[in-house]
Amino acid sequence: MKGKDLEMNDEELERALQSVGKACFIRHVSIFTDILIDDGTAIERLKAASHWSEAGCKIRVSHAHRIVRSGKTRLAVEKIAGSRLSSEDIALARQWLSSEMLRSAEVKRS
Protein backbone atom coordinates (compact mmCIF):
# COMPACT_ATOMS: atom_id res chain seq x y z
CA MET A 1 0.00 0.00 0.00
CA LYS A 2 1.43 3.31 -1.05
CA GLY A 3 1.63 6.19 1.42
CA LYS A 4 -0.24 8.37 -1.08
CA ASP A 5 -3.23 5.98 -0.83
CA LEU A 6 -3.52 6.83 2.85
CA GLU A 7 -3.65 10.57 2.23
CA MET A 8 -6.69 12.23 0.73
CA ASN A 9 -7.79 15.83 1.07
CA ASP A 10 -11.40 16.99 0.62
CA GLU A 11 -10.96 17.77 -3.07
CA GLU A 12 -9.43 14.35 -3.76
CA LEU A 13 -12.24 12.71 -1.81
CA GLU A 14 -14.86 14.55 -3.87
CA ARG A 15 -13.15 13.54 -7.14
CA ALA A 16 -12.82 9.91 -6.03
CA LEU A 17 -16.45 9.83 -4.92
CA GLN A 18 -17.51 11.27 -8.29
CA SER A 19 -15.45 8.61 -10.06
CA VAL A 20 -17.13 5.84 -8.08
CA GLY A 21 -20.54 7.48 -8.20
CA LYS A 22 -22.26 8.39 -4.94
CA ALA A 23 -25.13 6.00 -5.57
CA CYS A 24 -22.70 3.20 -6.44
CA PHE A 25 -20.62 3.86 -3.34
CA ILE A 26 -23.55 3.70 -0.92
CA ARG A 27 -25.29 0.78 -2.63
CA HIS A 28 -22.10 -1.30 -2.55
CA VAL A 29 -20.32 0.08 0.54
CA SER A 30 -20.34 -3.38 2.15
CA ILE A 31 -18.28 -4.75 -0.76
CA PHE A 32 -15.85 -1.84 -0.72
CA THR A 33 -15.27 -1.95 3.06
CA ASP A 34 -15.01 -5.73 3.51
CA ILE A 35 -11.31 -6.51 3.97
CA LEU A 36 -11.96 -10.16 3.05
CA ILE A 37 -13.08 -9.22 -0.47
CA ASP A 38 -10.16 -8.70 -2.87
CA ASP A 39 -10.25 -6.33 -5.84
CA GLY A 40 -11.05 -9.07 -8.36
CA THR A 41 -13.99 -10.36 -6.36
CA ALA A 42 -15.24 -6.81 -5.74
CA ILE A 43 -15.09 -6.12 -9.48
CA GLU A 44 -17.00 -9.29 -10.31
CA ARG A 45 -19.68 -8.59 -7.68
CA LEU A 46 -20.11 -5.03 -8.90
CA LYS A 47 -20.29 -6.17 -12.51
CA ALA A 48 -22.92 -8.81 -11.65
CA ALA A 49 -25.03 -6.24 -9.78
CA SER A 50 -24.86 -3.50 -12.43
CA HIS A 51 -24.83 -2.68 -16.12
CA TRP A 52 -21.22 -1.44 -16.09
CA SER A 53 -18.39 -2.94 -18.09
CA GLU A 54 -15.48 -4.66 -16.38
CA ALA A 55 -13.30 -1.60 -17.04
CA GLY A 56 -15.93 0.66 -15.45
CA CYS A 57 -16.13 -1.62 -12.42
CA LYS A 58 -12.33 -1.65 -12.06
CA ILE A 59 -12.27 2.14 -11.96
CA ARG A 60 -15.09 2.28 -9.41
CA VAL A 61 -13.50 -0.36 -7.17
CA SER A 62 -10.08 1.29 -7.38
CA HIS A 63 -11.42 4.70 -6.31
CA ALA A 64 -13.72 3.21 -3.66
CA HIS A 65 -10.85 1.25 -2.11
CA ARG A 66 -8.72 4.41 -2.09
CA ILE A 67 -11.47 6.19 -0.14
CA VAL A 68 -11.64 3.30 2.34
CA ARG A 69 -7.84 2.99 2.72
CA SER A 70 -7.57 6.71 3.40
CA GLY A 71 -10.02 6.39 6.29
CA LYS A 72 -12.58 8.63 4.58
CA THR A 73 -15.47 6.14 4.32
CA ARG A 74 -17.56 7.84 7.00
CA LEU A 75 -16.97 11.30 5.48
CA ALA A 76 -17.91 9.98 2.04
CA VAL A 77 -21.16 8.53 3.41
CA GLU A 78 -21.89 11.80 5.24
CA LYS A 79 -21.48 13.63 1.92
CA ILE A 80 -23.84 11.15 0.27
CA ALA A 81 -26.41 11.57 3.05
CA GLY A 82 -26.40 15.32 2.42
CA SER A 83 -26.56 15.05 -1.36
CA ARG A 84 -29.39 15.19 -3.87
CA LEU A 85 -29.56 11.47 -4.60
CA SER A 86 -32.74 9.45 -4.57
CA SER A 87 -34.51 9.15 -1.24
CA GLU A 88 -33.61 5.44 -1.20
CA ASP A 89 -29.88 6.16 -1.53
CA ILE A 90 -30.00 8.87 1.12
CA ALA A 91 -31.88 6.48 3.41
CA LEU A 92 -29.15 3.86 2.85
CA ALA A 93 -26.49 6.43 3.75
CA ARG A 94 -28.32 7.45 6.92
CA GLN A 95 -28.88 3.81 7.86
CA TRP A 96 -25.17 3.08 7.38
CA LEU A 97 -24.21 6.09 9.48
CA SER A 98 -26.57 4.99 12.26
CA SER A 99 -25.14 1.48 12.28
CA GLU A 100 -21.60 2.90 12.28
CA MET A 101 -22.42 5.12 15.27
CA LEU A 102 -23.81 2.11 17.10
CA ARG A 103 -20.69 0.02 16.35
CA SER A 104 -18.43 2.89 17.44
CA ALA A 105 -20.31 3.23 20.71
CA GLU A 106 -20.03 -0.52 21.32
CA VAL A 107 -16.28 -0.49 20.63
CA LYS A 108 -15.74 2.42 23.03
CA ARG A 109 -17.57 0.54 25.79
CA SER A 110 -15.44 -2.60 25.40
Domain coordinates of the chain in residue numbers? 9-109
> pLDDT confidence of 15, banded at 50, 70, 90?
very high
pLDDT one-digit tens code per residue, 22-80: 999 999 999 999 989 999 999 999 999 999 999 999 999 999 999 999 999 999 999 99
What helix, strand, coil percent values describe the chain, rounded to 5?
75, 0, 25
Instruction: Report the predicted TM-score, pTM, of the whole model to 2 decimal places.
Output: 0.84
Rounded to whole angstroms, what are the CA distances from 106 to 29, 87, 110? 21, 28, 6
